Amino acid sequence: MRANRSQRVRQFVVDGLLMLMLARSAAAAQPQIAIITAPDAPQLTLDHNMLRDVYLKKVFVDGQGTPLTPVNLPSGAPLREAFTRVLLHMDGNQLQDYWDRQYFQGVSPPYVLASQDAVVRFVATTPGAIGYVATCHVDTSVHVALTVSLPARTIDDISDCSEHHTP
């Protein structure tokens, strides 16, 4: 009876460890967006709400008065669509309607850059710039201010990371 109990405890421990390893690997496979700033920029305290306000241009400057310059990927880019859904809580059409209304108030949408590598280069060299890229595109030229997990179903949509080679 004692050996049987010992086997059950051992199996329980092994099963628990296996479940923990599976949970960790699932979390590691979850796609993430890195919100980046220049490394020497004043470190913003960004959360989802502040980031949303910066991208909707409701917040224009940081605490030191530095103008904030959010940058976007092109319309239709899978990472931009994921960013818009998860952080701005809009779809592409809703965002376009928002910017159509803002334009008549004198507020222009964020700059659009052609690629994630272009976002990294721009943010690294532009004071106050804020961008978003897949985490595999982050290098030492930028600071990660926030990391945002995306729903697992978006992994194929944004994972051009296999083609990206960090210098």
Same domain, 24 and 65: no
pLDDT, tens digit only, all 167 positions of the chain: 555 666 655 554 444 444 444 444 444 557 899 999 988 876 667 899 999 999 999 999 888 888 999 999 999 999 999 999 999 999 989 999 999 999 999 999 999 999 999 999 999 999 999 999 999 999 999 999 999 998 776 555 565 665 554 44
- Write out the two tokens for 109: 């949408």
- Write out the two tokens for 151: 């729903």
| C-beta neighbour count of 125 within 10 angstroms | 11
CATH (domain of 61)? 3.40.190.10
Helix (H, G, I), strand (E, B) or coil at 33: strand
Same domain, 85 and 3: no
Same domain, 69 and 81: yes
How far apart, in whole angstroms, are the C-alpha atoms of residue 61 and residue 29? 35
- Domain of residue 7 covers 1-30
Same domain, 15 and 61: no
